Amino acid sequence: MVDLDTPLRTLLGARAATLLADGLELRSVGGLLDHLPRRYHERGELTDLADLVVGETATVQARVEKVERRPMRSGRRSMLRVTVTDGRALLALTFFNQTWRERDLRPGVTALFAGKVEEFRGRIQLTNPEVHLLEAEGGEGEADGESGNGGADGGSASDGFASALVPIYPAAAKVPSWTVARCVRLALDSLEPVADPLPDDLRRRRRLPSLADAYRLVHQPASRADVTAGRTRLSWDEALVLQVALARRRREVEALATVARTGCPDGLLAAFDAGLPFALTAGQSEVGAAIAADLARPVPMHRLLQGEVGSGKTVVALRAMLAVVDSGGQAVLLAPTETLAAQHERSLREMLGDLARGGELGGPERATRVILVTGSLGARARREALGAIADGSAGLVVGTHALLQEDVRFADLGLVIVDEQHRFGVEQRDALRARGRRPPHLLVMTATPIPRTVAMTVFGDLEVSELTELPRGRSPVATFVVPAAVRSWADRMWGRIRDEVAAGRQAYVVCARIGGAGPDDGAGSEDAAAAGTDVGAADEPENPAMRPTATVTEVLPRLVEGELAGLRVECLHGRLASAERESVMNRFAAGEVDVLVATTVIEVGVNVPNATVMVVLDADRFGVSQLHQLRGRVGRGTATGWCLLYTAAEQDTPAWQRLSAVAATTDGAELARLDLAQRREGDVLGAAQSGGRRSLRLLALLRDEKLIREARAEAFSLVDEDPALERHPALRRLLEAVLDEESAAFLEKG
Ligand code: ADP
Ligand code: MG
């Protein structure tokens, strides 16, 4: 008898265990049973050969049509050409020195063939594929004694597939699908009763099969309904473990004690509100009240604020910061880049006016100081800044995430605000909490629309607030896809920039890469690469990665001499020294630069209301959400904004459709769903944020929204009743395994 922890070596012997370990990284019985079929062949139903992709390892069920033996010129060697069919298309199989296969592969016989799909003279073929005869047709079972299946196959007379559904496993070169199936069968036959991680009561209420039954249902189904039942049960394991982890994290934070920041009635916040040139939107007031209530509790706030670009998050953040300063504490605002940090500092100062002139001659009595800390501060300026932070005279501190890692000492840090969560995962949140005697309150802000299920999983330990309306006076952005193939469109695109500049406005030209030598801007190149390789790459005839990408360094001189001659054009990207970057930004903001040729450093936060046109070159290389973020940079004022998505992608390709979708809607939530549907979830979430590889294996965040929501409710009541999971040892064990994997993945990265 074996259990889930039994090494495969014990079950299968050394030779087969080594094959599974080397080829598929499977080492234990549990690991093997978690290696789920990718799909199922109906016995007798032939694989659609038109779906085969050159370069992939495929397992196909096909019928032998024709067999030819060909002597080879070199003399003793021989070649067998077997043509198989799915009833429509043909596939050529070439066997070298395996003429004995003629015996089994007679015309009319159906079998499974596995191998790497190749193209030869315009036709697809498999060379020396693995062969598995199906009992119903062949009657003989395994007949490939010497074909390299290794010790895993004992040459049994049965084909091992009990039912009409033949599971097809992710396979490796030396471990064909049916070998996996045979090993799984051995495991299931000798599996002793397993401890079930799902609580009995939950299983009964939700009519879910036991874990062992679920494994049988997915590995040896009698019907499609079996497969669904088994997979649903295994999805529950994933969802529940993930949500239990989040529920525990949330309850842990709630058990921490911190300083309540109740503000004061005639403090900075009151003065700020009195001088605000506009009325807060209903959403801003509501979220502001929720944050104020959080801050007033002696438990650290843990909140996510989501709102489209331009929805007015910064005002909300600043008001929270002022409440903390009014309570005698300090607040820090963290941005993902130095450019953004510098810009935040500027806009905080602007909004605060005199209220930021604490300690200055002529500053009002009730004022504080805003301090910017970046890597580019000189030694003296840095010493002064750190001094003001340590003695508490700086109420508001702005910097990049590095501020948290460095040895910056605060007099009394009460609130941390993180702008743009992308690179601020669970681990950073934990690290932050571990800092200082009293954990600060935490507010994470993001402009990326997040589908509800993502919020429930990735940010499941945070309370979520949303700003849904834009402040009045915002103009919509008109977005168009501009095909590179049509010359006159491109001319009109540059003409639009010249027209806007002539009317006193400004423009952005966004490139996916910096170009020249040196590292590329993190966000842009990563996301661009992800968009280029992940999205529809498989179905596009032309590989977009092969096309040269327009780069900042190459586009800038071309525009200056050509399409935008006479305009004041400058560039902005992550490789410029930060002083230079700041100077360019300042001059652009002051209207001294007409056109900014930039990478995605302008993606978040850059706020120049006078900029009304954005041209995105190679727009197909950007993700959907990223394009949506980018275009938020134009139309910040009252004039109509224009976003022109320039692409060489052909009409009717997936890339073109993606761009059309961005052009067709300004609904960020809808685009976020589209993004998630099209990209692999890991890429959208980032490894750290997906909560470990194992936890999102079966779950699809869009499809399984209902299940995730139910699991979340179950998890919270479970954790509230039994925080240490003492009555649920199997669940606790699974949770620990997942968390171990998560922290291992985190350590690898760090
Ligand atoms: P976000 O950070 O969410 O992208 P900001 O906070 O930068 O948005 O706000 C964008 C612009 O809108 C700023 O110029 C800000 O002063 C302005 N703004 C914010 N709230 C309001 C409001 N209630 N009414 C009018 N304008 C507002
Ligand atoms: Mg902002």
CATH number for the domain that contains residue 336: 3.40.50.300
DSSP state of 236: H
Claim to verify: residue 391 and residue 297 sit in the same structural domain:
yes
User: Has residue 255 been placed in a domain?
Assistant: no
Residues 450 and 494 in one domain: no
For ligand 1, say whether the CB of 307 is within 6 Å of any of its atoms: yes
What is each CA distance from 473 to 314, 640, 732, in whole angstroms? 17, 11, 53
* Residue 437 shares a structural domain with residue 490: no
| Residues less than 5 Å from ion ligand 2, measured at CB | 314, 605
Mean pLDDT of the chain: 82
The pLDDT, as a whole number, for residue 632 is: 82
Give me ligand 1 centre to Cα 474, in Å. Answer: 10
Q: Which atom of ligand 1 lies nearest, measured to the CA of 313?
A: 3
Ligand in closest contact with the CA of 605: 2
Indicate if ligand 1 lies below 6 Å from the C-beta of 607. yes
CB of 623 within 6 A of ligand 1: the answer is: no
At residue 396, the pLDDT reads: 96
750: tokens are: 């760090």
Q: State the Cα–Cα distance between residues 132 and 151, nearest whole angstrom.
A: 16
- Between the CA of 302 and the centroid of ligand 2 the distance, in Å, is 19
Q: Is 628 in the pocket of ligand 1 (CB under 6 A)?
A: no
The residue among 133, 166, 190 that closes a domain is 190
pLDDT (tens digit, 9 = 90+) per residue, 253-278? 888 889 999 999 999 999 999 999 99
Which of 140, 87, 86 is CA-nearest to residue 113?
A: 86
Cα 372 to Cα 315, 333, 560: the distances in Å are 18, 10, 34
| Ordered strands of the 110-116 beta sheet | 118-120, 123-127, 90-96, 78-85, 57-71, 110-116, 130-133
Residues 419 and 535 in one domain: no
Kindly report which listed range (161-175, 635-649, 679-693) carries the lowest average pLDDT score. Answer: 679-693
Regarding predicted confidence, which is higher, 294 or 140? 294
Q: Is the CB of 471 under 6 A from ligand 1?
A: yes
Going by C-beta distance under 8 Å and a sequence separation of 6 or more, which residues neighbour residue 415? Answer: 261, 295, 301, 320, 321, 324, 329, 330, 331, 332, 440, 441, 442, 443
Q: How far apart are CA 523 and CA 536, in angstroms?
A: 21
Residues 392 and 522 reside in one and the same domain: no
The protein residue whose alpha carbon is closest to atom 5 in ligand 1 is 312
Max CA separation in the chain (angstroms): 100
- The residue among 697 and 645 whose pLDDT is bigger is 645
Distance linking the first and last C-alpha atoms of the chain:
41
Tell me the three state secondary structure of residue 396: strand
Which of the pair, 121 or 105, is modelled with greater confidence? 105
Last residue of a domain, one of 190, 222, 251: 190
Same domain? 415 vs 541 = no
User: How far is ligand 2, taken at its centre, from the CA of residue 443, in Å?
Assistant: 13
Q: Is residue 510 part of a domain?
A: yes
Domain final residue pick, 190, 205, 224: 190
Strand partners, 510: 598, 616
Query: What is the whole-number distance in angstroms between the Cα of residue 283 and the centre of ligand 1?
Result: 12
Domain encompassing residue 394: 283-467
Task: With cut-offs at 50, 70 and 90, classify the pLDDT of residue 425.
Answer: low
Percent of the chain beyond pLDDT 70?
A: 82
Question: Does the structure show a pLDDT above 50 at 496?
Answer: yes
Please choose from 276, 278, 343, 634 the residue to mutate so as to test ligand 1's pocket, defined by most ligand atoms within 8 A of CB. Answer: 278
What is the arithmetic mean of pLDDT over 332-338?
86
Ligand 1: residue whose CA is nearest its atom 20: 312
- pLDDT at residue 537, rounded to an integer: 28
The verdict on the CB of residue 343 being under 6 Å from ligand 1 is: no
Count of structural domains, the chain: 3
Cβ contacts of 365 within 8 Å, gap of 6 or more: none
Verify that 372 and 488 share a domain, yes or no.
Answer: no
Asked if 502 and 560 sit in the same domain, the reply is yes
Ligand nearest to C-alpha 306: 1
What are the pLDDT digits (tens) for 156-209?
334 555 567 889 888 777 788 888 999 999 999 999 999 999 999 999 999 999
Atom of ligand 1 nearest to the CA of 467: 3
